[in-house]
Chain A
Amino acid sequence: DGGITQSPKYLFRKEGQNVTLSCEQNLNHDAMYWYRQDPGQGLRLIYYSQIVNDFQKGDIAEGYSVSREKKESFPLTVTSAQKNPTAFYLCASSQTGLGEQFFGPGTRLTVL
């Protein structure tokens, strides 16, 4: 089955720790995205990547970092610099920038 997988589903982190969220897609899509969703809020774009080895900041990139070494993988690191990291994180991909974006199942991060 083609799709987007995210792991882990739930993640707990102590303050001051960096954590990395995994996102993998087998749709052969060029573009990948990371969004953050807070209760009662729409999705906000953190980073996106149009091609391998290239990525751009979204609206709320501070405290986050990404890499795109392979077409199918786009991991997100939540650093200790992110002041309010507890949220639901969603990864998405699309064939091109104009194509439909399809989402993974999400990772819920809680900072203890």
Chain B
Amino acid sequence: QKEVEQDPGPLSVPEGAIVSLNCTYSNSAFQYFMWYRQYSRKGPELLMYTYSSGNKEDGRFTAQVDKSSKYISLFIRDSQPSDSATYLCAMKRDSGGSNYKLTFGKGTLLTVNP
């Protein structure tokens, strides 16, 4: 079983839709959870950074972490064509020598159609 699983999509939605992106993980040692947005042929851009369980909101983006289910989500409200990109989840431990290492999902390709 891979440490982090992410549905690669592709996911296609109409403009204005609510988008839900998800990752599951198997390692209970993960404490920090991130979502990155990556446009084609560009470097990833950090969208959300959360610690432990709960919700975090930033504008149209909401990150949700459910550690009991080992499940994280990113919701995008009022999606725009400019949101079309690959979304990568990432996570890491909080102590020991491995706390520098991010473990990434493979990414979900999202297209928002005008």
Binding site for B on A (CB under 8 A): 4, 6, 31, 33, 40-45, 48, 50, 56, 58-59, 88, 90, 94, 97-98, 100-106, 108
- Distance to closest chain A CB from B87 (angstroms): 12
B43 touching A42, Cβ below 8 Å? no
Chain B nearest CB from A93 CB (Å) reads 11
**A100: which B residues are within 8 A, CB to CB?**
34, 46, 49
Q: A45-B101, A58-B101 are in contact. Are A105 and B43 (CB under 8 A)?
A: yes
Among A4, A98, A104, point to the contact of B32 (Cβ < 8 A): A98
B42 contacts chain A at the CB level, 8 A cutoff = yes
A40 near B43 (CB under 8 angstroms)? Answer: no
Of listed A50, A58, A97, A105, residue having the most chain B CB within 10 A: A97
* Interface of chain A, main secondary structure: strand
Total number of B residues with any Cβ neighbor in A under 8 Å:
26
CB distance from B96 to the nearest CB of A (A): 10
Q: Is A31's CB under 8 angstroms from B88's CB? A: no
Q: What residues make up the interface of B, taking CB atoms closer than 8 Å to A?
A: 4, 6, 8, 32, 34, 36, 41-46, 49, 88, 90, 94, 97, 99-107
Q: Which 7 A/B pairs are nearest by Cβ-Cβ distance?
A: A42-B104, A103-B43, A97-B100, A42-B106, A43-B104, A105-B43, A97-B99
B101 to chain A, nearest CB (A): 6
Chain B nearest Cβ from A6, distance in angstroms: 8
A94 and B105 alpha carbons, distance in the complex (Å) = 20
Residues of B within 8 A of A45 (CB): 101-102
